[in-house]
Structure 1
Amino acid sequence: MGRGVFTSVAITAGSVIEVAPVVVMSQRERALLDQTLLHDYIFEWGSEGAQCAMALGWVAVYNHSYTANCDYEMDYTTDSIQIITVRDIQAGEELFINYGGSWDEQKPVWFETQ
């Protein structure tokens, strides 16, 4: 899986783990990024999804799971992404998000369809 984010303490459901600022890029810049390794680390951004954003902080390092224990929320007003736990998490667990959007989305993600 590569890198990952782990907790050293127990965390209760509904806890905000991180609020990370993002760097928002245009549709033209996204086309360029899609040709690089950074493609795997950007988020679609904006109500139309034409832009993209690179999250700062640890957000880009969370691994994917269809049974994610965290969700992410995008705030287009503050240009930030918030990571929130969806269940209680034990100390030592890896924190996962679902790259498909919501924490329980079951649609295959891009790297499984290639």
Structure 2
Amino acid sequence: MGPIVMRNTGKYGRGIFANRNIKNDELIEEAPVIVIPKKEWKLMRDSVLLNYVFWWEEDKALALGYGSLYNHSYTPNAGYITNIKKQSIDFYARKDIHKGEEIMINYNGDPKDQSPLWFKVRE
């Protein structure tokens, strides 16, 4: 069984949870991406995909696997790196995460960035 599982958060829909204890700096998931070129994104930006894509240089990217399903937090226990060369988004633990704990990332990219998002954040 893998280190993560998707389930309902009971607060804001689906989320990703630790299926076992995960150590600080451990790779949680290497999610391959589908890159959506900037010119094609213009046709899709008013779709449900708006809530699931990542910035990918001047384009957008949809992360496969569980990649696009991590929920946001301004105090995240995980972070991510966009790996342009491998065309993946790599999710890492920023601290020890206990089995059953939801894994959260900061949608702004930088874990310390407190900038407002396109939705009301519920912590």
Q: TM-score, normalised by structure 1?
A: 0.91
Give 2:71's aligned residue.
63
Counterpart check, 1:74 vs 2:82: yes
Letter in 1 for 2:91: I
Query: Structure 1 runs of 4+ off > 3 angstroms?
Result: none
Do residues 106 (structure 1) and 114 (structure 2) align? yes
**Which is further off, 103-112 or 19-28?**
103-112
Q: Secondary structure at the residue paired with 1:68?
A: coil
Deviation at 1:83, TM superposition (A): 0.3
Counterpart among 17, 22, 26 of residue 15 in structure 1 = 26
Q: Which amino acid aligns with 2:74?
A: Y
Alpha-carbon distance in structure 2 between the residues aligned to 1:54 and 1:106 = 23
SS in 1 for 2:32: strand
**Matched residue of 1:14: which SS?**
coil
1:71-109 CA distances to partner (integer Å, 9 max, x unpaired)?
000011111000000001111100001101112221111
Report the residue type matching 1:66 in the other structure: Y
Q: Which has the higher contact order (CA 8 A, sep 6+)?
A: 1
- The 3-state SS of whatever aligns with 1:53 is strand
Structure 2 spans left out of the alignment, 5+ residues: 1-11
Q: Which runs of 5+ in 1 are unaligned?
A: none
Identity of aligned residues (%): 40
Tell me the equivalent position of 2:8.
none
1:26-62 deviation line (CA, Å, top 9, x unaligned) = 111111121101111011112xxx2111110001110
Q: Supply the AA of the counterpart residue of 1:74.
A: T
Provide the residue aligned with 2:9 in structure 1: none
Q: Secondary structure at the match of 1:110?
A: coil
SS for the counterpart of 1:84 is strand
Q: Per the alignment, in what secondary structure is the counterpart of residue 42 of structure 2?
A: helix
Residue of structure 1 in register with 2:6 after alignment? none
Query: Normalized against structure 2, the TM-score is what?
Result: 0.85
2:103 paired residue number? 95
